[in-house]
Structures are given as structure tokens and as C-alpha cells.
Amino acid sequence: MNPFEFSVQHESDTARAGRFATPHGVVDTPAFMAVGTLATVKSLDPIDLREMGAQMILGNAYHLHLRPGDELIRDFGGLHRFMGWDGPILTDSGGFQVFSLEGLRTVSEDGVEFRSHIDGSKHVFTPESVMQIERNLGADVIMQFDHVIPGQSDEATARDASERSVRWLARCLAELERLQAGGPPPKNTITNFPALPGTTFPLPAPSHPQALFPIVQGGIHDALRIDAARRIRELGDWPGFGIGGLSVGEAKPDMYRILEVVDGELPRDRPRYLMGVGFPEDLVEAVRRGVDLFDCVAPTRMGRNGAAFTSDGRLNIKRAEFRTDPRPLDEACDCSACRRFSRAYVRHLFTSDEILGLRLLSLHNVHFLVRLMRDARDAIRAGTLDAWSRDWLTRYHIRPVPTA
Ligand SMILES: [Zn+2]
């Protein structure tokens, strides 16, 4: 039996509602995955995530390798046990992070040498070492190590990075197969590994199967995207596909067009994950173009800056007009913040630098996106996605972009 089976249950043009099985449970798609970069969705307890209906969350290989160390997490039984989340997890490979370390990294065909943003220590990421890290973390879905470039890169730069990413994908696959076949344990890259308390450590390392997702790159160049998708499919029968390098400064119509191009090149019976895209209007537009999974730090990062998604558009709770506003953040929201607290109270917490203010806004924003995708699923199942998405975008004050 395939532990990562994806079944499309309803279709509405290119949009689909499906179920994605993993060793830690099922994800109903389309779905928004909250980002827990450092093994925590900032300010939210896993209980909060469960209550709002979140099914799958993210961790990040770069950050967790540097701190607290992927081998420490492995010795605590893997990321699920370490952070107390027993549902599905996806780890990003850290490609985005190491390539963002402008001036602190050198790229070669072998991999990337970089200095830690924490203490300046030197590290090397190769497709092989990243697979070892992601194996130690033990997420259900692991992303390949890819060559990430700035959003406005010219075609030659985008081609070079995309082709390298495909070569690195082949190396990731070979290494993961070696690790899953019980190859030698990865080299210990942590010196002075601390003695762990208690007598039960190390817990058994995670041993469930992991799904490796390739990442389709190619910037905003249609031909490169098509070429990347085809080369990736020649390399294997993948359990799902990442779509990378979007929402990085390109115009929205370019992003939506690329999604339509990629949609035509990927198998319809595998989940597609649009990486790092989390604004509500983008989720709705991408669902209409066949995307199943999303993640973004936007809901928690914006929440910490005082911004809340609402059904009528975005609001900033710091504005003076909310000082005496008795309404919840969003009258249409049933999150535990909106069920209990007024805008006036949340604004008071925020302007007083009270931790609860950050937490309530983050909780509301993540809930908002989880629920948005649940509503999209319901609309697909009911055959009303087109009307639902138009109404939703109009109320959110966004003009719908016609599909090609
Ligand atoms: Zn709410």
C-alpha cells in the first residue's frame, strides 16, 4: 500500500478537493499548512492548531539543523515527538534560507557553503547532507534541496538554477533511497553533543517512510517551467510536487499564469504544493488553478505586526478607530479569539505590548487561512467554486483574475 496516496474526490475545472495520506494521518486538500520554522508555530500550542482544524504543519531543515541540531531532534524520537505534534509534518530543505544569505555563502555544483546567521560558523549543504538532516527530523514530506534565485532573475540565471535543481534532485533521491535502505548512519556534524537527561534516551529515531517532493523552478519563464516539470517527471514517479520561486516579487498575473502552465505539466493524481504563498487572495486564485497545499509565515508575521485578515479585507488593530470597537476581529470568524474578545481588547493588548495580543492575532490569522481552505473544499465539493471564489474575492476587495 502506498503510504502517501492522494485521491482526488471532487473536481471543478482545474480545482480539486482531495485526501492526501501520510504516516501521521490524512490531509484534506486544498489545505493551508502553518509554518513552524523552529519547531513551533510562533505563539501557538499544538492544541490550538488541532482545535482550529489544522492538519499538517511545516518545519525548516536549515533552522533546525543550526538550532537545536537535527541529530538532537532525532535522538528525541524525531520532530513529531520533539514538538508534541502527532499530525503530518513537511520540512522545507533550507534552500531558500541558504541562498538568502547574500555574501555569506558560496555556491558550487556540489552544494552551498555558508556561514550560520546565528554564530557565523561554517556549514556545507549538499543534496546528500540535506537528505540526512531531513531524515533525522523525520517529517512525513521532505522537500528536495534546490537552487533558489531572486524573483526577477533573467532567463539565463533561471535556467542555470533550474537545471542544477534537477541534477540535485537526482542526488537527493539516491541519498534518500540509500538512507531508507538502512545505509550507514549520517556523519555526526555536531561536536560536543550534550549528554541527554534520563535513562530512556536516545528514543528510537524516526523510521517511517518519507515522501520526497521535487520542486519545479524556472522563475516566470513558461518554457523553463515546462522543461523543469518534464525533466523532473523523467527522474521518477514522485508522490507530490513543489512549485517554488513564486510570490517573490513578480507581478500577480505572472504568478497565476505560471500556475496554469505548471498545472498542464503535472500529473493530476498527485498533490501540488505552492511554496511560501499565503495571502488569502493568492490561495483562492491558486486553488482555482489546481494547487492543493500552501504554507506561509504571513499569518503569524503579520499578526505580530498587528495586522489581521478579515472577510472584508485586512485591518490593522493598532489604528485608533478600534479603541472602542466592541466587534470581534472578524464577525464571520469562529476562532477562539473572535468568539471571546473585542477589537478594543485586542488593540489594548497590542498597544500595551502584552504577549496575549500577538498570540490572539496569530491564532486568528492562521485559523482564517485554515478555514478559508476548508470553505474552498466545501465549494469544490458542492460544485460552486467559481461563484464562491468570485464572491469571496469581491468581499475581500480583490478583483478576480480570469483563468486562461
Ligand atoms: Zn478569528
- 310 alpha carbon – ligand 1 mean position (Å): 8
- Of 363, 356, 293, give the one whose Cα is nearest residue 334: 363
Q: Which residues have CB atoms below 5 A from the ion given as ligand 1? A: 333, 335, 337-338, 364
pLDDT digits (tens, 9 = 90+) for 315-355: 999 999 999 999 999 999 999 999 999 999 999 999 999 99
Tell me, what's the pLDDT at 386? 96
- pLDDT value at position 203? 73
Q: Pick out the chain residues at pLDDT < 50.
A: 188, 190-193, 195, 199
Within 13 Å of residue 342, how many CA atoms lie on the same side as its CB? Answer: 10
pLDDT computed for residue 190 by the predictor:
44
Distance from residue 367's CA to the centre of ligand 1 (Å): 7
The CA dihedral of 244, 250, 255, 257, to the nearest 10 degrees, is: -130
What percent of the chain has a predicted confidence (pLDDT) above 70?
95
Active-site residue, from 92, 227, 263, 330: 92
* Spacing, Cα 309 to ligand 1 middle (Å): 9
Q: How far is the CA of 368 from the centre of ligand 1 (A)?
A: 6
263 included as an active-site residue: no
Query: What's the pLDDT score for residue 183?
Result: 63
Ligand 1 centroid to residue 341 C-alpha, Å: 9
Report if pTM > 0.85. yes
Q: Which of 48, 70, 140, 295 is the catalytic position? A: 295
Q: How far is CA 275 from CA 57, 196, 286, 360, 398, in A?
A: 13, 35, 11, 25, 22
Is 92 designated active site? Answer: yes
Question: What would the pLDDT profile of 179-192 be if each residue is shown by its tens digit?
Answer: 999 865 555 454 44
pLDDT at 186: 53
Looking at residue 197, what is its pLDDT? Answer: 54
Residues of 308-346 as b/e, b for ≥16 C-beta within 10 angstroms?
Answer: bbbeeeebebeeeebeebeebbbeebebebbeebbbebb
- Taking residue 238's Cβ as centre, other Cβ atoms within 10 Å add up to 21
